[in-house]
A and B are shown apart, each in its own frame.
Chain A
Amino acid sequence: MLKKAQQYKAIVIGTSAGGLFVLFDLLKQLPADYPIPIIIVQHRAKDQRDLLEEILQSRCRICIRQAEEKENISAGNVYIAPPDYHLLIENDYTLSLSDDAHVRYSRPSIDVLFESAAFAYGPALIGIILTGANSDGAAGLATIKKEGGVTIAQDPKEAAFPMMPEAAIKKGVDYIWTIEKISTFLLEQADTK
């Protein structure tokens, strides 16, 4: 059974190779006043100007922004981890950056975001792992589950790179869904509010 929508205070999403297109699919349908803030780690190269936020924004109504140090997390926003920094969530629902060592060769690392989010939000959190070609995020998603949050992995059969959702599924997730089903679920959270 899914929990009542009001219980969710945040959604965290992690993805790597192939992520841009599925992020489009998930985010473009959300209304500008979507009631739950979304925080995303998409693995990205440092240095090069990749325009990730601008590209996503060009097709979305909800506000897409690069996460800033000590920023308050609020509804109607999608926060994306900047290149070359880990993104963490504090207990007072603000964002922190860190340049701690790479985790699983990644900075930003999905595990780092997911673990800090799990401790800040507990059961009021939805964690989603999408396509990717490594196993970052699996441990973090397991922590979200342990703290009582809802965990979802993209169906590896439709994922461009199935390794990341597969690694998460191996540790145990609540739902294995297609992007279409995840989309519907996200929209339902807005309806029931």
Chain B
Amino acid sequence: MNFDNKEFKELLESIRYVYGYDFTDYAEASVKRRVNQFMTNRKITEFEKLGKILLQDEKIFEEFVQEVSVTVTEMFRDPTFYKSLRENVLKRLATYPFIKVWIAGCATGEEIYSIAILLHEEGLLNRSVIYATDINQKSLQIARDAVYPLEYMKNYTANYQKAGGTRAFSEYYKAKYNSVMFDRSLKQNIVFSPHNLAVDNSFNEFQLVICRNVLIYFNQQLQNKVISLFYESLCPFGFLGLGSKESLLFCDKKKNFEEIDRKEKIFMKSK
């Protein structure tokens, strides 16, 4: 590592002070790894120099944020989660005249279109609005474009089928050269917006909040804060879906949620 703990913490504090981006409550090991990678990629050898560049050059700082906050995912990742969502959650959402879904930390959009496909197949997409948010603007743009490499489709198709999908997955996209573009109809009710879970507040009330593999990057304190934010953002008996290795174990709001599917980490706001 090109830096010690103290100077690392000082840099995060300065970034928070200058730009309002708060990485101080992120799980450190991952952030350090990414900062280290950023330095290697830019051939910056001294940590002091990194600090100077980031605090003086807004443009490089923007690139820094993109690289440090980037996440990768796939469509229907953990197919059993989506299967459970279909069977245990969407049936109940169907009773609402109007459905609002928040996908927090939507990254490059693979999760959004997976959910949109589920809603479509349950006949709910027309009366749903999906709010897709991420801290990373570059990722959001990719999510908006809905263009993905053709080579991934084999894996995504297999995931879709394991998630209980019965149609031809290729119905949902058009292939051109080495890319595919997902169908416009899936995008009709998606609102894309930047949102920073570490500092921003609740902005609406939802029947379903999905936030998968985002909390693992936060320390316990921030995890707790974000779960409270989700609690406030859910309607009574609204649903929360987390990543397969995440839990409410250490959160103050733990007692306010009921487990709908223990293994798939799907919860319902019960009080």
Contact = CB atoms under 8 A, between A and B. Distances in A.
A121 to B, nearest CB: 12
Contacts of A116: 29, 32-33
Nearest to B223: A70
Contacts of B72: 99-101
Given A68-B245, A69-B247, A90 B1 contact: no
Interface stretch (A7-15, A81-89, A125-133, A148-156): A81-89
Interface string A89-102: 11100001111110
A128 to B, nearest CB: 20
A69 B216 contact: yes
Nearest to B216: A97
A91 B216 contact: no
B104 to A, nearest CB: 15
B73 interface: yes
Contacts, number: 58
A88 B29 contact: yes
A24 interface: no
A69 B246 contact: yes
A177 interface: no
A95 B213 CA distance: 15
Contacts of B71: 99-100
Contacts of A98: 27, 29-30, 216-217
A88 B30 contact: yes
Given A70-B220, A98-B217, A100-B72, A119 B27 contact: no
Contacts of A88: 27, 29-30, 33
B32 A119 contact: yes
Interface in A39-84: 68-70, 82
B245 A69 contact: yes
A112 interface: yes
Q: For this complex, into which size category does the number of interface residues on chain B fall?
A: 20 to 34
Contacts of A101: 72
A166 interface: no
B27 A99 contact: no
B250 A112 contact: no
Contact of B245 (A82, A112, A115): A82
B5 interface: yes
A100 B30 contact: yes
Contact of A96 (B27, B73, B243): B27
Interface residues of A, number: 21
B1 A99 contact: no
Contact of B28 (A70, A91, A97, A115): A91
Given A70-B220, A70-B250, A100-B33, 9 more contacts: A69-B215, A70-B223, A88-B30, A89-B29, A91-B29, A98-B29, A99-B72, A100-B71, A116-B33
Contacts of A68: 245
Interface in B35-75: 71-73
A32 B216 CA distance: 30
Interface string B1-37: 1000100000000000000000000011110111000
A115 B32 CA distance: 11
Contacts of A115: 1, 33
23 contacts: A68-B245, A69-B215, A69-B216, A70-B219, A70-B220, A86-B30, A88-B30, A88-B33, A89-B29, A90-B27, A91-B28, A96-B27, A96-B30, A97-B216, A98-B27, A99-B72, A99-B243, A100-B72, A101-B72, A115-B1, A115-B33, A116-B33, A119-B1
Contacts of B29: 88-91, 96, 98, 116, 119-120
Interface string B150-165: 0000000000000000
Contacts of B250: 70
